[in-house]
Amino acid sequence: MTPHHSHHHAPLCDLCQRPDPTGGYACASCAERARRDLRAIAELTPAVRAIAYGLARHGSTIASRTTEIRLPLDLAAVERLDRAQSEITAIVRHVADERGEHTPAVADPLISAALWLTRHIEWLRHRREAAEMMQTIADCRRALAAVAYRPTERRWLGQCGADTDSGPCQVDLVARIDAEQVTCRGCGSVHDVAARRQWLAEVVRGYAYTAAEIEQAYGIRAGTIRQWAHRGRIVATGTTAEGWPVYPLGAVLALAAQDAARRAERQARRVVRAA
C-alpha cells in the first residue's frame, strides 16, 4: 500500500490513491460514495427481504410434476441478506464502541444500522480501518443489488385446487407481488394471497426433489446435497422414474440455513477481529 504520510505532499487516500489535503485515510469523495452505498443498502433491504422470504420470486419453476410445490424461500438471497446484516452491524458495533455511542434498536436492523452509519462516515474516514470498512460497505451494496435487480417474476402460489366438474382445478396461480387476492384464470375462483403463501410454506417441506432440481430452484449446489447424503446428514426418500434419488426439501433447506448461519457468524467474528 502507498505510504500514508509524506513530509512534502498531502497523504493519499487508501481507496483511490488520490491526495487528501485533510489528512484522512479515505478522501471526502470516497467517504461520500460510502454514504451513498449505505443509503442504497437501506433502500434495497425491503425488496431483498421480500425476495428472500418468498414475497417475490425469480426465474421459472422447476420442471413441473403433478405433486410439484415450491417453498417460497430464496436461500441465496437469505444468505446475502444475513451476510450484509452481520457485516454492517459489526462495523456499527465497532464505531459505536470507539465513539461511546448507542447503537440503534429499531424494526429492521440492517436499515437502521446502515442509516446510523451514514452519520459517522466523516469520523470513520480519518481512521486507519476506513478503507477496509468502506470496501465492505460497497461489497454489501453490490450483493444486495444483485438480488434486488434480478428480473422479478410475479409470485407463484401453487395450483388453484378449487373444486370443478372435472376434479380439482390444476391451473397455476400467479399473483403480483403486492396483490392481496388472486383470481384463477382457469375456473375464476378467488384466493387470498397471504393465506396461499402460508399454506405453501407449511405444506412444501414434505416434498422431495432431485439434487439438480433443488440447485436450479434454490442455488444450493447439487454436489453439496449429495455430499450431505453421503455423510448421512440427509437421507433420500425415494427415486425418480429415471432412478435419481430425491431428497426432502425441508431437510435440505434446514441444513443450508444452518450452514449459512455458521458462515455468517464466522464472517462477523473475522470482521470484529480485523477491526
Per-residue pLDDT reduced to its tens digit, 23-54: 899 999 999 999 999 999 998 888 788 777 66
Task: Report the predicted TM-score, pTM, of the whole model to 2 decimal places.
Answer: 0.50
Burial of 245 (0-12, 13-18, 19+ CB in 10 A): middle
Cell output for 227: 455430499
Residue 190 has pLDDT above 50, yes or no: yes
* Residues 219-250 pLDDT 10s: 788 899 999 999 999 999 888 777 888 888 88
Asked if 185 and 154 touch (Cβ cutoff 8 Å), the reply is no
pLDDT tens-digit series, residues 138-172: 999 988 888 877 655 566 777 788 998 988 898 87
**pLDDT tens digits, one per residue of 59-111:** 333 333 333 444 455 666 777 888 898 899 999 999 999 999 887 666 678 88
| Domain spans, the chain | 28-150+265-274, 154-206
